[in-house]
């Protein structure tokens, strides 16, 4: 099997590559433009199992790259700009990367004719989830910020290419992924760094109640994608994770570290446009096929925290090592 993975030097993409190396004998080709959130250090230990192609997906794939990818069986499109805060400051990059990049990959897929195209998307396309509401695969989109709007648009493109050009499509929507080698702008490594330093951890809230998410280790996410491919699935599937509010998660991390948590509830709901208090997906559709996360949430979190404390070089930010 010849498999193409986009965004493979990013956080989720690198865990996907690592999982496929460990569990298949597939011929892996990866594309990445190596932006600020990408790092070849994430996948350097897998160099003998992959073929790296440098390309910025904001441009169409050139003929020589398409020739190298001829015979591709699966395309897994995970490349995307993902940080909501960045999308508020520079939304144009998100439109170019997430919408334009997806368009260019879909057009490449029309030429490569894979037997399956996997579009990796997000829970945020549905917007905020009221308490006790878990969105199902066919619920309406209501994105709240430029990031989620561009992911919703990229999904609409993928569905149109599936309908009009018979591109065999799987759309996966996941929630907050965490794990080893995550960029320090994300919540779990940020909490680890601040707890280690004794600094205050900001907790997104409405001023009183903390926001809530479902949390999933990136390797569990990768396992679900492999499961769907091996079962020749089609359509949309939710890969949900386990729900914890932001304060509960920070308290769990502090407990694993054996250090006190100093925190402050920050009213990001009103001060940061596009912040949603709660996201939630219903994962029953993929569960009905027989999939469940191979590693429980608590074990995944403990492993991530332990690994990060042993590899503090991953707590770098803006070219300077965060004090830990």
Residue 290 lies in a domain: no
> What CATH number does the domain containing 317 carry?
3.90.25.10
pLDDT at 117: 98
The residues annotated with a catalytic role in the active site are 123-124, 147
Percent of residues, the chain, with pLDDT higher than 90:
86
Residues 25 and 66 in one domain: yes
> What CATH number does the domain containing 141 carry?
3.40.50.720
Q: Decide: residue 171, CB within 10 A, 0-12 exposed, 13-18 middle, 19+ buried.
A: buried
What average pLDDT does the chain have?
Answer: 94
Instruction: Name the pLDDT band for 319 (thresholds 50, 70, 90).
Output: very low
Residues 64 and 96 in one domain: yes
pLDDT in tens, 107-165: 999 999 999 999 999 999 999 999 999 999 999 999 999 999 999 999 999 999 999 99
pLDDT in tens, 17-32: 999 999 999 999 999 9
Percent of residues, the chain, with pLDDT higher than 70:
96
Residue 219 lies in a domain: yes
Residues 206 and 219 in one domain: no
Residue 289 lies in a domain: no
Strands 27-32 and 50-54: parallel
Residues 235, 223: Cα–Cα separation, whole Å = 17
Q: What is the DSSP string of 23-90?
A: H---EEEEEE---TT--GGGTGGGGGGEEEEE--TTSPPPHHHHHHTTT--EEEE------HHHHHH-
- Its pTM stands at 0.94
Residues 204 and 229 in one domain: no
Residues 295, 136: Cα–Cα separation, whole Å = 23
pLDDT at residue 317 greater than cutoff 60: no
The answer to whether 16 and 42 are in contact (CB under 8 A) is no
pLDDT in tens, 39-98: 899 999 998 999 999 999 999 999 999 999 999 999 999 999 988 888 989 999 999 999
pLDDT at 282: 98
pLDDT at residue 320 greater than cutoff 60: no
């Amino acid at each position: 099997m010849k498999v193409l993975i986009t965004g493979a030097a990013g956080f989720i993409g690198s865990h996907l590559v690592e999982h496929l190396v460990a569990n298949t004998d597939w011929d892996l080709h990866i594309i990445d433009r190596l932006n600020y959130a990408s790092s070849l250090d994430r996948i350097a230990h897998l160099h003998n199992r992959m073929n790296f192609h440098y390309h910025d997906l904001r441009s169409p794939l050139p003929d020589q790259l398409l020739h190298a990818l001829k015979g591709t069986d699966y395309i897994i499109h995970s490349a995307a700009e993902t940080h909501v805060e960045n999308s508020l400051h520079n939304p144009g990059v998100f439109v170019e990367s997430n919408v334009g990049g997806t368009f260019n990959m879909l057009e490449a897929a029309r030429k490569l004719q894979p037997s399956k195209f996997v579009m990796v998307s997000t829970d945020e396309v549905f917007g905020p989830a009221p308490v006790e509401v878990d969105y199902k695969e066919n619920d309406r989109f209501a994105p709240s910020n430029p990031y989620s709007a561009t992911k919703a648009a990229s999904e609409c493109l993928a569905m149109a290419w599936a309908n009009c050009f018979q591109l065999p499509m799987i759309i996966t929507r996941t929630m907050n992924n965490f794990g080893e080698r995550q960029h320090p702008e994300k919540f779990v490594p940020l909490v680890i760094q601040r707890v280690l330093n004794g600094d205050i951890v900001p907790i997104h809230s409405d001023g009183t109640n903390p926001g809530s998410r479902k949390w999933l280790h990136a390797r569990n996410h990768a396992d679900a994608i492999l499961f769907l491919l091996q079962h020749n699935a089609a359509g949309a599937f939710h890969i949900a994770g386990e729900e914890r509010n932001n304060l509960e998660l920070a308290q769990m991390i502090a407990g694993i570290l054996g250090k006190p948590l100093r925190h402050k509830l920050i009213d990001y709901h009103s001060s940061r446009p596009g912040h949603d208090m709660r996201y939630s997906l219903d994962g029953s559709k993929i569960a009905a096929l027989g999939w469940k996360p191979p590693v429980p949430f608590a074990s995944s979190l403990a492993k991530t925290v332990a690994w990060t404390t042993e590899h503090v070089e991953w707590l770098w930010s803006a070219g300077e090592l965060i004090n830990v």
